[in-house]
Structure 1
């Protein structure tokens, strides 16, 4: 786990918020630590309800393989993003703020009973989920 990449995801969350979107960011790195793609939440600015930071990053990977990649996310990925990461072949997910904590701050959006770890555990692949890590830093951005 690399806190530099997680802090970058948190910085992208601040950028998303500054642009009028929900405060979520994501960084996708390959096995060597090379940044494949970054994403900010763009749901409001794009009008696309699937434009979550993690999916923006996956789409931004273009021709770069996401197989065996690691996703760093400022917030715990929702079920849609968690499932997309399974399909993309991502093998590690690291998130800063837990859904339990950020839902106390952020209004709107559905709440799910299953967390990221539970979603990916239901798949027939091995994916490591780590979090929360640097939760206070991410929550501070969400409280702005």
Structure 2
């Protein structure tokens, strides 16, 4: 798997800040950015599932925005940075609209292991790696620098002690 660059880490730090904002607002802690081929932040969002619509993930919002606002070439040259690896729904949307590289701070395998370790029931959707759902999408992650911070955010959101 490709190494994360210093620029990737800076953008991931913003994603973690967005995850913290989501948690502070009563949502699940996930934040994401869409970057142009030149590294400009085009769109950012955070989880908005607290009102019961479990599809309001920032990665899906990015895919929907990108298909309205960007050409297919711009989408293919873009990067999505996110605090947590895409779920299968978001990975599929990402691939279907032709977005480029995905960079993530924590993996779905990490989140699954944390939840299992806390004795929580499994999620209603299997946590598949991006490469299983969207095998032609380049990815980079996880970023060990953010693991403990993200694990703590996930624990708080689930009402457990890490």
What is the TM-score when the length of structure 2 is the normalising length?
0.75
1:88 CA displacement:
2.0
Q: Is the 8 A contact 1:98 1:135 kept in 2?
A: no
Inter-partner Cα distance in structure 2 for 1:27 and 1:68: 14
Partner of 1:53: 58
Contact kept in structure 2, 1:13 and 1:74, CA below 8 Å: yes
Q: 1:37 maps to what in 2?
A: 43
Q: Which has the higher helix share?
A: 2
Paired residues, number: 139
Note the residue ranges of structure 1 that are not aligned, 5 or more in a row: none
**Residues 16, 23 of structure 1: 8 Å contact kept:** yes
Residue 105 of structure 2: SS of its match in structure 1?
Answer: strand
For residue 142 of structure 1, report the CA deviation from its aligned partner.
Answer: 2.5
Tell me which residue corresponds to 1:82: 91
Q: Distance in 1 between matches of 2:32 and 2:24?
A: 16
TM-score, with length taken from structure 1? 0.84
Q: Aligned-pair RMSD on alpha carbons? A: 2.1
Which segment drifts farther, 47-56 or 16-25? 47-56
3-state SS of the aligned residue for 1:138?
A: helix
Unaligned runs of 5+ in 2: 157-162
Counterpart Cα distance in 1 of 2:127 and 2:20: 26
Contact 2:34-2:43 at 8 Å conserved across structures: yes
Q: What pairs with 1:109-120 in structure 2 (closer than 5 Å)? A: 109-112=123-126, 114-120=128-134
Mapping of residues 61-80 of structure 1, within 5 Å: 61=66, 62-65=68-71, 66-80=75-89
